[in-house]
Structure 1
Amino acid sequence: MGIRPMRLEDRPALVQVLKHTPEFELAEIPVAEEVIDAYLSNPQGSGYHAYVAELDAEVVGYICYGPTPLTHGTWDIYWMAVAPVEKGRGIGSALLAYAEARIKEARGRLILIETSSKLGYEGTRRFYDSQGYEVVCRLPDFYAPGDDKLILQKRLGGRDSGPKQARRRD
């Protein structure tokens, strides 16, 4: 598997990945496409960084992230998707690790991810938990009644980074 910057010719494959990702609702796909198009039309000035994962010369996933405006070292993971038939092969972990390494190189210190509390996103939440992200905020009924917005974070280096450890109390 390889990871490389997103290119214009990747767009059709990325749209298929999005359409076949069961977690995404139909209304979400045009929003993801807008972000892809913004990046592809102006990679340097879009504010986004976008990379694809290739397996046997086929695009099987992508990640899009960028610095959070008006912050010092905070970055957002905006979109990440892996073709459902390729899930469980480490592609999502590789994409996320790649983005985290680039963010750290850019002196990033904190990564935020937003997701849904719906049952259909349980696998997504478990995945991010396994990658060291923790829920730091819950906005009740944000997306719809009973569908909370969860904000997850991961610190890169320094204070509170790395695996959680039990604190000793004397």
Structure 2
Amino acid sequence: MIRRATDADLPALRAIQQASLDEPWPDLLATTADGPLILVAEDPEPVGYLVAIPGEAETYLAELAVTPAARRKGYATELLEALRERTAGRVELTVQESDDGARAFYDSHGFTVAERLEDYYKSGDGLLLVSESGE
């Protein structure tokens, strides 16, 4: 099930963030009030989440994470589809250029490389990926 996050979810989401991301952004999971859109995948406990910042013409997908034990079970796809249902226009995100798994996932969901971002991450270059609405 995909739903909006509540403040009660934040400790579990921070644990997923730390277990799943090489360069987490802890401030994204500070509060659910007046902040970015945070969606949770649960089964029945939270197993993944995404953080998105909707705009008028595009939405920036800041983080998408699934706990290692729940990967390859469709949760990331469900979260991405739920985001597309709740927002309009283009979706943008960045990935590490060297992260072949993330790149393959987003490629399979219609994202294309828009720009190479030198030294974007502590560990190296990034890629700006984009997907138009409905893809």
Q: Same fold (TM over 0.5)?
A: yes
> Deviating runs (4+, > 3 A) in structure 1?
none
2:4 maps to what in 1?
5
- Cα deviations by residue, 1:5-55 (Å, 9 ceiling, x for unpaired): 10122122112211221xx23xx33x2x21111x42x2xx32x11110001
- Cα deviations by residue, 1:56-76 (Å, 9 ceiling, x for unpaired): x210000111224xxx41110
How many residue pairs get matched? 135
- Are 1:143 and 2:130 an aligned pair? no
- Cα deviations by residue, 1:57-115 (Å, 9 ceiling, x for unpaired): 210000111224xxx41110011100111111100000000001111xxxx22110111
Secondary structure of the corresponding residue to residue 78 of structure 1: strand
Secondary structure of the corresponding residue to residue 20 of structure 1: helix
Q: Which amino acid aligns with 2:28?
A: V
Q: Which amino acid aligns with 2:129?
A: L
From 111, 134, 137, give the equivalent of 2:91.
111
2:52 maps to what in 1?
65
User: Normalising by the residue count of structure 2, what TM-score does the alignment of the two structures yield?
Assistant: 0.91
In 1, distance between residues paired with 2:120 and 2:92? 17
- Closer, same or farther in 2 for the Cα pair 1:149/1:59, shift >3 Å? same
Instruction: Name the structure where strand makes up a greater proportion of residues.
Output: 2
Shift of 1:144: 4.7
Task: Provide structure 2 residue ranges, at least 5 long, that are not aligned to the other structure.
Answer: none
Task: Provide structure 1 residue ranges, at least 5 long, that are not aligned to the other structure.
Answer: 163-170
In 2, distance between residues paired with 1:20 and 1:77? 19
- Closer, same or farther in 2 for the Cα pair 1:144/1:8, shift >3 Å? closer
Greater relative contact order (CA < 8 Å, ≥ 6 in sequence):
2
Q: Which amino acid aligns with 2:130?
A: Q
2:37–2:54 CA contact under 8 A, matched in 1: no
User: Normalising by the residue count of structure 1, what TM-score does the alignment of the two structures yield?
Assistant: 0.73
- Are 1:123 and 2:101 an aligned pair? yes
Task: Look at both structures and tell me which one has the larger radius of gyration over its CA atoms.
Answer: 1
Q: Which amino acid aligns with 1:150?
A: L
1:101 maps to what in 2?
85
In 1, distance between residues paired with 2:29 and 2:120? 24
Identity of aligned residues (%): 28
Q: Within 5 Å, which residues of 2 pair with 1:26-41?
A: 28-29=23-24, 31=25, 33-37=26-30, 39-40=31-32
